[in-house]
A and B are shown apart, each in its own frame.
Chain A
Amino acid sequence: EPEVTQTPSHQVTQMGQEVILRCVPISNHLYFYWYRQILGQKVEFLVSFYNNEISEKSEIFDDQFSVERPDGSNFTLKIRSTKLEDSAMYFCASSESPRDSGNTIYFGEGSWLTVV
Chain B
Amino acid sequence: AQKVTQAQTEISVVEKEDVTLDCVYETRDTTYYLFWYKQPPSGELVFLIRRNSFDEQNEISGRYSWNFQKSTSSFNFTITASQVVDSAVYFCALSGNTPLVFGKGTRLSVIA
> Which residues of chain A have a CB within 8 Å of any CB of chain B?
33, 35, 41-45, 48, 56, 58, 89, 91, 99-100, 102, 104-110, 112
Contacts and interface: CB of A to CB of B under 8 A. Distances in A.
11 contacts: A42-B103, A45-B99, A99-B33, A99-B99, A100-B97, A106-B47, A107-B37, A107-B44, A107-B45, A110-B45, A112-B43
A107 B50 contact: no
Interface residues of B, number: 24
A104 B35 contact: yes
A42 B52 contact: no
A108 B100 contact: no
Q: Which of A99, A102, A104 is the most central at the interface, judged by chain B CB atoms within 10 Å of its CB? A: A102
Contacts of A42: 91, 102-105
